[in-house]
Structure 1
Amino acid sequence: MLSKAARQRRKHPGAPPHAVAHVRHSIGLRFAALLKSGRGAWVAFLAVLGPGLLAGLSDDDPAGITTYSVLGADFGYRLLWIIPASTVLLVQFHLMAVRIGAATGKGFVGIIREKWGRGAGYFAVCGLLFANFGTICAEYAGISAAGGLVGIPSWLSAPVAGVLISLVVVLGSFHRVERVLLLISATLALYIVDGFLAAPDWGEVWHHSVVPHMPTNAAGWIALAAALGTTLAPWGLAFIQSYAVDKKITLETLRWARWDVVIGSVLTGVIGLAIAVACAATLNKAGVHIQDAGDAAKALEPLAGRFATVLFGAGLLGASLLAAAIVPIATAYSIAEGVGEPASLDLDSRHFQWFYAAFIGLTIASVSVVSLPGLPLIPLIYTSQVVNAVLLPLHVIALQRLAGDASIMGDARQGPWSRAAGWVSIVLILACVAALAWSGMS
């Protein structure tokens, strides 16, 4: 725990940079003392738990669930391999983002602003804001869809969820907010149960999960790129770096934070695979086509039973609530960093803060859009995903350059093998985005 004086320095905008550096250094010393005290690695791991789990699991949001559902419903088991492949990339770039945050003490937009100037920082904020707003709308649309399964109208479910989430984020401390989000994230495990209830052909699942099969039409390439984009989302990369800084992860604690990232990413891939498998074994087999995750939940009932539908709907609600908190938090981090203001869940909410203002503004705007009757959400959400696809290469290239920059990272800069692996992965991402563009023109 930080001392009261240290917490006050962190809360107020006037805190000098050396004070923040002193706090981060003292945390590293306390962490080292914890390990030497004999309390064990388990306690040390729990001390850094959070960024990897939340950043990874929030990728399984309504847009992600819809993407995985369509992947399984339309293509069966054939394209399952893209989910494990995307998970490997997720581990790689989440680790990179956390490392940059631990070495610099700055979020993604903050370090962009420092390295390439305010103009580059504003550009990053505008791109993330434009892409993220449609994604936030998708999260509240997911809440509405989950509520609709039990007869709750969207004009009620979305505003109530927005108010509750805002109260937790604005009035709660960092650790209280984190506990609530981790509790909500546990509901995503319901999708793993759904995967087993669907009784898939496990031989086919294994084969198509490890052996790549290329799409045979434009729709397949779009599904492939969408699965990559929803797993490795730019807002997720921005969130994990800023959140790791807010969590005060340091180079001394990075060893344990890596396990958090790996576990969170692997769970994300397992849950995504379970959703696709459930739909492949039921909807694809029955020739049922769907438009979104709500359709998938309804269509599962006659094929896999009422219990499977209930689990799918409960998982959709949990995923929506989690992402409806995290995506605005990620965007608020970026906006505050872009204008050079403090960005933390531990700020004093009794005084005006850019961070909280951005969070509340994004929540009100997205809830208002989702609550409007008859408004076509699909074009907005689709446009945001296209922007995400364009931003992803720019984001990972920026991360790669920052991670290898000795003037920023010091002794923590990437080694030659890590840099080579990063560029190989970026080439694969660029190829996937190029295939998406080609399929759209053909």
Structure 2
Amino acid sequence: MKKYSAKISKFFKALGPGLITGASDDDPSGIATYSQAGAKFGLATLWASLITFPLMAAIQEMCARIGIMTSVGLTTTLKKHYSKPILYLMLLFSVPAIILNIGADIAGMGAVANLIFPSVSPLLFSVLFTAVLIVMIVYLPYQKIVSVLKYLCLSLFLYIAVPFFTHPDWGAVLKNTFVPTIHFNKEFVEILVAILGTTISPYLFFWQVTMEAEDVKSSRQLILARNRIARRDEDTKVLEAKTKNFLSLLIAKMRLDVNLGMLLSNLVMFFIILATGTALFANGITQIDTVEQAAKALEPVAGKASYLIFTIGVIGTGFLAIPVLSGSLSYIVSETFGWKGNLDAKFYRAKSFYIVIIISLLLGLSINYFGISPIKALLYTAILYGLTSPILIAIVLHISNNKKIMKENTNGKLSNVLGWLTLIIMSVAAIALIYLQF
């Protein structure tokens, strides 16, 4: 038993950027979106998890490869190689959505905490969580935050057990998983856009590029330093060959990391839809307006503890995802204006970087005062991502095919096919939703 525990512990300690990206993708916004999909349409959207896995894996792999090849963030790459209008377009389509996502996640965390402590208002909890997040992000290195909070997110895997207690029609589960169902009406298209938006989220593009860039930058500097000390007699060609081999190994490791992270993310998505489809939709609960209703999906397994487990899952993913969201936003703004800083830097060395994070959290908190229910705010965030993602995907596709930037590591045929398919599907879904609004 100790042997297996040690292996599991070692696995979690080795979580890379791809796995962290996958975990933060199942944030409160994702949980709310998948719960809405299952409650409203039963098993009809299960097939979406099969579609989103290869698409999001392909896009995140491109982003990671860009980070490895450039050793800088996505915003810096845009500044270096593209015109200012492209940079400003990226800012326009990403910054508001990220702030809304932060606000929706904070509101969701406050609402689930209120489930456990009804005497304390959700707004007060939201203020408390915002203060805790600011202190954590400013004073703790992100890796330390991750090392603790990633275990809280394991509660989401309880959704995997729900269908085995509710005894769904497994024939219908298989059919809805492999045979797509599409209803051309506003509600169904809205949920599809939300699912696409919350799984293929623009903030994750920036995060993946930056995390891989920082990892490769430190690794590359170490390799080059060793080469200079131990192999002074080697010529430039030998060193270039070693560097090329190093990059190849890094890319291979990254692909495994990204694919595993996206697989776990989509597995959670599949079972949340399946759990809510069997525990809620099948019992006549087809509209989720409160976090209490969303938590009821865990009752077949957890009983009275379902609220507590749901709360732990939402708060855990919120604390994991919000530093990623605010960090991504700060990297975007800081790189745009040439400010230094990262999530591992001390405050006094990266004041501008951390001030952007603090402002983004306070702006997100202010959304709580607009009177939008947390569940709706979380869903609206996913829809907004679904509408804005195509622009960012087009930019990522162009960069990853740019030989000047990527050298010999431009997209292969499969990456381009999946990348263009992602762009087309998300664009068609966004256009269909806009059309159906009128």
| Length-normalised TM-score, structure 2 | 0.83
Shift of 1:388: 2.0
CA contact (8 A) 2:90 2:391 kept: no
**Structure 1 residue 417, shift from structure 2 partner:** 4.2
Judge which range, 78-87 or 403-412, deviates more. Answer: 78-87
Deviation of the 1:107 alpha carbon: 1.5
1:69 and 1:276 in contact (8 A); partners too: yes
Change (3 A) 1:318 1:91: same
Mapped partners of 2:381, 2:191: distance in 1: 16
1:167 paired with 2:153, answer: no
Shift of 1:290: 2.8
What do residues 363-404 of structure 1 show as CA deviations (whole Å, max 9, x unaligned)? 12222432x484666776666444422321111111111001
1:326 counterpart residue number: 324
Distance 2:357 2:325 in 1: 9
Aligned CA-pair RMSD: 2.8
50-59 or 277-286, which deviates more:
50-59
Give the distance between the partners of 2:84 and 2:18, measured in 1 at CA: 29
Matched, 1:131 2:97: yes
Equivalent residues of 1:110, 1:338 under 8 A apart: yes
Q: Provide closer, same or farther for how the CA distance between residues 376 and 297 of structure 1 changes in structure 2, counting only shifts above 3 A.
A: closer
Q: Distance in 1 between matches of 2:111 and 2:211?
A: 29
Equivalent residue, structure 1, for 2:123: 155
Distance 1:405 1:44, change over 3 A: farther
Say if 2:229 is the partner of 1:232. no
Query: Mind listing any 5+ residue stretches in structure 2 that lack a counterpart?
Result: 1-7, 221-246
- Whether the 8 Å CA contact 2:386–2:426 is kept in 1: the answer is no
Please report how far the alpha carbon of residue 243 of structure 1 lies from its aligned counterpart in structure 2 after TM superposition. 2.0
- 2:288 pairs with 1:287: no
Q: Are the equivalent residues in 2 in contact too, given 1:113–1:119 (CA < 8 A)?
A: no
CA 1:424 to 1:212, structure 2 compared with 1: closer, same or farther past 3 Å? Answer: same
- Give secondary structure in 1 for the equivalent of 2:25: coil
Name the SS of the counterpart of 1:412 in structure 2: coil
8 A Cα contact 2:108 2:378, kept in partner: no
The offset of 1:106, in angstroms, is 1.6
Counterparts of 2:392 and 2:135, CA distance in 1: 31
Q: 1:68 aligns with which of 22, 25, 34?
A: 34
Partner residue of 2:365 out of 364, 367, 377: 367
Partner residue of 1:176? 144
Q: For this pair of structures, how many residues does the alignment match?
A: 399
- In structure 2, how many angstroms separate the alpha carbons of the residues matched to 1:182 and 1:50? 12
> What's the offset of the Cα at 1:172?
2.0
1:43-442 aligned within 5 A: 49-151=15-117, 152-248=120-216, 251=247, 252-292=249-289, 294-300=291-297, 305-370=303-368, 372=369, 374=371, 384-441=381-438
What is the distance in 1 between the residues matched to 2:199 and 2:392? 14
Task: Judge conservation of contact 1:282–1:303 (CA < 8 Å) in 2.
Answer: yes
Q: Deviations over 1:57-81 (max 9, x none)?
A: 2121222111111111111112210
CA contact (8 A) 2:291 2:375 kept: no
Give 1:162 shift: 1.8
Question: How do 1:18-57 residues align onto structure 2 when only pairs under 5 Å count?
Answer: 49-57=15-23
Per the normalisation by structure 1, the TM-score is: 0.82
| Contact 2:45/2:176 (8 A) holds in 1 | yes
Moved more, 318-327 or 304-313: 304-313
Question: What is the rounded CA distance, in whole Å, between the counterparts of 2:405 and 2:130 in structure 1?
Answer: 38
**Counterpart in 2 of 1:34?**
none
Q: Which amino acid aligns with 1:268?
A: S
Once structures 1 and 2 are overlaid, which stretch shifts more, 403-412 or 306-315?
306-315
Could you tell which deviates more after superposition, 140-149 or 412-421? 412-421
- The aligned residue for residue 225 of structure 2 is none
- Check whether the contact 1:143–1:158 (CA below 8 A) recurs between aligned residues: yes
- The alpha-carbon deviation at position 288 of structure 1 amounts to 1.1
- Provide the C-alpha distance between the structure 2 equivalents of 1:104 and 1:111, rounded to a whole number of angstroms: 7
Measure the CA separation in 2 of the matches of 1:90 and 1:232.
6
2:32 and 2:326 mapped to 1: Cα distance? Answer: 20
C-alpha distance 77-387 of structure 1, shift in aligned 2 (>3 A): closer
> Residues 348 and 406 of structure 1: is their aligned pair in 2 closer, same or farther, counting only changes over 3 Å?
same
Overall identity of the aligned pairs, in %: 25
Q: SS of the counterpart of 1:114?
A: helix
